[in-house]
Amino acid sequence: MSKYLALMMTALLLWPVIPAMFYLPGYLFSEHSVYRPEEITRRWQQEAIKLDGVGSAAIHAKLGALSKEYPEAEMFWVDSSGKTNAIKVTSNDIPAQWSYVDLLSLQTQDSNQEAFTLTALIGNDPKQGFMMMRLPESYIISAEMSFPENMPLAIMFFTVCLCFLVLSFLFFVNLRKRLIKLRSAMNLSGKTGFPNEVVISKEDEIGELEGAFNRMVCELKESQQREREEEELRKQFISNISHDLRTPLTVIRQHVHSVRSNPAASQEPTSLSIIDHKLDEVDKLMDNLLSYSLLSAGKYPINIQSIDITEEVRNRVAEWYPIFEAKDFDVVVELPDCPILWNVDPMWLHRIMDNVFQNVVRHAGAGRYIGIQITDSPVQAIIVKDKGPGTCNNSPEKGAGIGLSIVSMMTREMGLHWELKSEANGSTFYLWKDIGSSI
C-alpha cells in the first residue's frame, strides 16, 4: 500500500510538470531577459509619476537610464504639444506629431503584432504628456504562467489530488484489513484443528480469494474425514485378513497335531487332504492380498478389450464345476445363446468371477446351491445366486473380506457396477454394465 501511494503521489506531482516542460525552458534557457507584466507595468507607472513637473532634459535623461535597463524595448515620450521625443525607436510607425487617433492606431497595431505596450502619463497629468515603452511578447511572462492570478485553479488542482490520495488510502486500508483478516483466519485453528471459514463480504477479487480459502478448508475437512474412514477400513481389513488366515491355520494345526499324536491312525489320509485343501485356501488368500496391494497402488496391469461375457462366464463355470460337484452343489446355469460384448479386461473379469464363486463355496456351502445367469433386461447383468445363510453385509464397499474388496476396485476401474444383496435364505451378486442404472 505504501508503494502504491508513493507511486500515485509521484504521478500527481509530476502531472503539473508536464505542461511546464513546454513553457519553462523558453524562459529558463532564453538568451534574453524576460519580464513579468505586472512588475514592469508598476515600475513604468511609478517612474512616470516621479517625473511630475520636471523639464524635458530630466525626462530625456530618465528614459535614457531606463532604456539601458530594458535594452530590448523601444522608448519615447510625447510632450504636451504632441511632439515625439525618441529615446530608442527602431520601427517606422512612430509619428513625429501625435494625435488621439495615432495613439489608438498604435495600440491596435501592437496588439496585432503581439507586442507588449506600456503607456503612462507624466506626473499622472495629461497636460504634461506621456511616455511609452514597447516590448516583444517573447520578453513577457504570460499570464497563464503566473501563479497568483491562477490561485483558484491551483487550489482546485491540489484539492483534487488530496481527495484522490485520501480515497486511495481509504480503499487500500479497507483492502488491507480484509487481507489481514484472511491471514488471521489462516493462522487460527478451530476445534477441528483446521482454520475457520471466513465470511465473504464482497464479490470482488478478495472475495474470490476468500471463497477459495473456504473451499480449501472444506477440502481439508473432507480429506481428514476420508482419512479417518480409510483408517477404519484398514483396521477392518487387517482384522478380516487375520481372521481369514487364522481359520485355515487353526484347522491345519489341529490335523498336524492329530497326525503327530497317532501316525498309524486310519484318519491320516483324511487329515493330509484337509491340510492340503487349507493350504490351497491360504495360497489363494495370499494371491488376493498381492492383487489388492497392486490395485491399491495402481500397478495392477489392465488391458481393456471387447470380449463375449457369455463365453467367459461359461468357461468360469466349467473350471469351477468339479469343485461345485465335490461340494454337492446344485448348479443351475442360464446363459443366452447369442454373444454379449463388454469392453473389459478378460483377466480381471476372470478374477472377479473366481472371487464370487469362492465366496459362495466358503460362505454359502450349507445351501448346496448356486445359480449363474446373464440377463439382458432391464440392463445387461451377470447374476450369481446361492441359498446359504447370507453374509449379513449391507455395505459391500467396506467388504467382509479381501475378495469383495478386489471385486470393488476392479469393477470401478473397468466402468462396471456391482452389488451384493444378502438375506437370511441366500445372497445374490449382481454385476452390470450401465453405471447409471441399478438392479
Segment 179-216, tens digit of pLDDT: 888 887 777 666 667 777 788 878 878 888 888 888 88
The per-residue pLDDT for 313 is 94
Query: Among 39-48, 250-259, 423-432, where is mean pLDDT lowest?
Result: 250-259
Instruction: Return phi, psi of residue 298, to 5°.
Output: 70, 25
* Mean pLDDT value of segment 350-367: 86
**Looking at domain 305-432, which of 2.60.210.10, 3.30.565.10, 3.10.310.10, 3.90.420.10 is its CATH number?**
3.30.565.10
Q: By the 8 A CB rule, do 65 and 72 touch? A: no
The per-residue pLDDT for 36 is 80
Q: Which three cell numbers stand for residue 259?
A: 497326525
Instruction: Return the domain boundaries, the chain.
Output: 37-140, 305-432
Q: Can you tell me the distance from the alpha carbon of 290 to that of 295, in angstroms, rounded to the nearest whole number?
A: 9
Query: Among 11-20, 48-57, 130-139, 164-173, where is mean pLDDT lowest?
Result: 11-20
| 371 confidence band (pLDDT: 50, 70, 90) | very high
Nearest to 213 by CA among 181, 174, 191: 181
| 374 confidence band (pLDDT: 50, 70, 90) | very high
| 333 confidence band (pLDDT: 50, 70, 90) | very high
* Mean pLDDT value of segment 406-417: 88
**Chain mean pLDDT for the chain:** 79
Please determine, for residue 1, whether its predicted confidence score (pLDDT) is greater than 70: no
CATH of the domain spanning 37-140:
3.30.450
Q: Which three cell numbers stand for residue 2?
A: 505504501
What angle do helix axes 151-187 and 2-14 make, rounded to 10 degrees?
A: 170
What is the percent of the chain with per-residue pLDDT over 90, rounded to a whole number?
14
Q: Can you tell me the distance from the alpha carbon of 313 to that of 308, in angstroms, rounded to the nearest whole number?
A: 9
| 296 confidence band (pLDDT: 50, 70, 90) | confident
Q: Which three cell numbers stand for residue 81?
A: 504639444
Q: How far apart are the first and last CA of the chain?
A: 63
155 Cβ neighbours under 8 A, 6+ residues apart? none
The per-residue pLDDT for 113 is 59
Q: By the 8 A CB rule, do 379 and 430 touch? A: no
Backbone CA torsion sign across 386, 391, 394, 395: negative
Query: Among 2-16, 89-103, 113-127, where is mean pLDDT lowest?
Result: 2-16
The label of the residue with cell 487332504 reads 273
Please determine, for residue 337, whether its predicted confidence score (pLDDT) is greater than 80: yes
The region that residue 127 occupies, defined by phi over 0 for left and psi between -120 and 50 for alpha, beta otherwise, is: alpha
Compute the CA torsion angle 177, 179, 182, 187 (nearest 10 deg): -100
Please determine, for residue 8, whether its predicted confidence score (pLDDT) is greater than 80: no
The per-residue pLDDT for 331 is 94
Across 56-65, 113-122, 229-238, which has the greatest mean pLDDT?
56-65
Instruction: List b or e across 391-407, with b for residues whose CB sees 16 or more CB atoms inside 10 angstroms.
Output: bebeebebbbbbbbbbb
* Mean pLDDT value of segment 37-63: 89
* Mean pLDDT value of segment 286-297: 75
Q: Which three cell numbers stand for residue 393?
A: 453385509
The per-residue pLDDT for 381 is 93
